[in-house]
Amino acid sequence: MGVIIREKNSGTPLAEAVAGRGLLTYEGNLYYDSRLVNHQVLRVSDRTYTCPVKGTCHWVDFVDPQGQLVQDVAWVYADPKSGHEAIKDRFGFYAGARGATRQDDAR
């Protein structure tokens, strides 16, 4: 079964994958291989967050075709700390419905 992450208000798909094939569940969040995210509507920002455990990530924003911006729908670690290499360059999203996104299970 596939797992789709959507922008909550518009329903726009942001990422889709099957667990184990491009999708990693890590510390309760969903991390997608970069090839499986919708780069047409996602923009990696200059804003960062530093996790004391995993390192520094960049926030990712949703920008719809009309230019509407929703900040912080995802995050990406370009250089995670030792022990967290599995999430390197993957787009992280909250599981379930949290923040500006929601998870749908595709059949």
Instruction: Supply 10's token pair.
Output: 């518009």
What string of DSSP letters covers 31-53?
A: EE-GGGB-TTTEEEEEEEEEETT
pTM: 0.94
Q: What is the pLDDT of residues 1-55, one digit of tens each?
A: 689 999 999 999 999 998 788 999 999 999 999 999 999 999 999 999 999 999 9
Rounded to an integer, the average pLDDT of 59-72 is 94
Q: What is the pLDDT of residues 66-87, one digit of tens each?
A: 899 999 999 999 999 999 999 9
Tokens 């920002």, residue located: 45
pLDDT at residue 10, rounded to an integer: 93
Instruction: Supply 61's token pair.
Output: 């924003």
Are 52 and 26 in contact, with CB atoms under 8 Å apart?
A: no
